[in-house]
Homo-oligomer: A and B are copies of this chain.
Amino acid sequence: MVTKNQIKLVVSLKQKKYRSQHGLFVVEGEKVVTELLRAGVKPFKVFVDESGRVEEFKEAELVSNKLLKEMSSLTHPNGVLGVFYMAEAGNTSIQDWVVVLDAVRDPGNLGTIIRLCDWFGISQLTCSQDTVDCYNPKVLQATMGSIARVNIAYVDLEEYLGKTNLPVYGAYMDGESVYSSDLAKKGILVMGNEANGISDAVGKFITKRISIPQFGASTTESLNVATATAILLNEIRRD
């Protein structure tokens, strides 16, 4: 039986402060819940309603449509809601490329970047404290389960970058062309805020400014941060 306190807890997880306090986050949908379980993310509780196929989820709790709707962040809940434990701050010894985000604010962009890290086999994503919360429901909807395979940490970037011995590449409009840049075997790729790019405070730690060349008569000011990340990770991996 689901208790009133459990419902209250799940509803509270819509707010970041309660997610942090309880170390729990919510995902919705059969597919992503299945992916997280398969990836070994520890479930706190999985709820399904009459439309969710309960036999697929061991120990899932059957609740009414009405209750699931109450707990859901979606306008149209889709039958399955999972509450999971957040990952511990992972191993930070760096054996490969790391992506660093400086104040990325759009949930869709962060979700896309997590998915790109997963695609390109980047296991560590390090975010400034003012980057959007990766357990935000809109981010989770955009990651399609990749959140289970990418370790995400929120840190003080100045402290973090001050300690590394790796080359630190930053994406700038006026950097050297990534086509002619000599990309190291491992390093850090810093991507900046949607409107302002990389902040001056973080910029001090950049050892190489890189950019994606523009073609034709375009006067487009910049690429979206997620599409720029896609292109740069492809450049890093294509060898």
Q: Which residues of chain A have a CB within 8 Å of any CB of chain B?
A: 35, 108, 112, 115-116, 118-123, 144-146, 149, 179, 212-221, 223-224, 226-228, 230-231, 234-235, 237-239
Chain B residues with CB under 8 A of A228: 230
* Distance between Cα atoms of A224 and B108 in the complex (Å): 11
| A152 smallest CB distance to B (angstroms) | 15
Decide: B231 and A234 in contact? CB cutoff 8 A.
yes
Report how many copies the assembly holds: 2
Partner of A227, one of B112, B122, B216, B220: B112
Chain B residues with CB under 8 A of A118: 216, 218, 220
Chain B residues with CB under 8 A of A146: 218, 220
Partner of A224, one of B115, B219, B221: B115
Decide: A149 and B115 in contact? CB cutoff 8 A.
no
Chain B residues with CB under 8 A of A227: 112, 115-116, 226-227, 230
Decide: A216 and B120 in contact? CB cutoff 8 A.
yes
Residue among A144, A220, A223 with max Cβ neighbours from chain B (10 Å): A220
| A101 smallest CB distance to B (angstroms) | 16
Chain B residues with CB under 8 A of A231: 230-231, 234
Residue of B nearest to A120 (CB): B215
Partner of A217, one of B149, B237, B239: B149
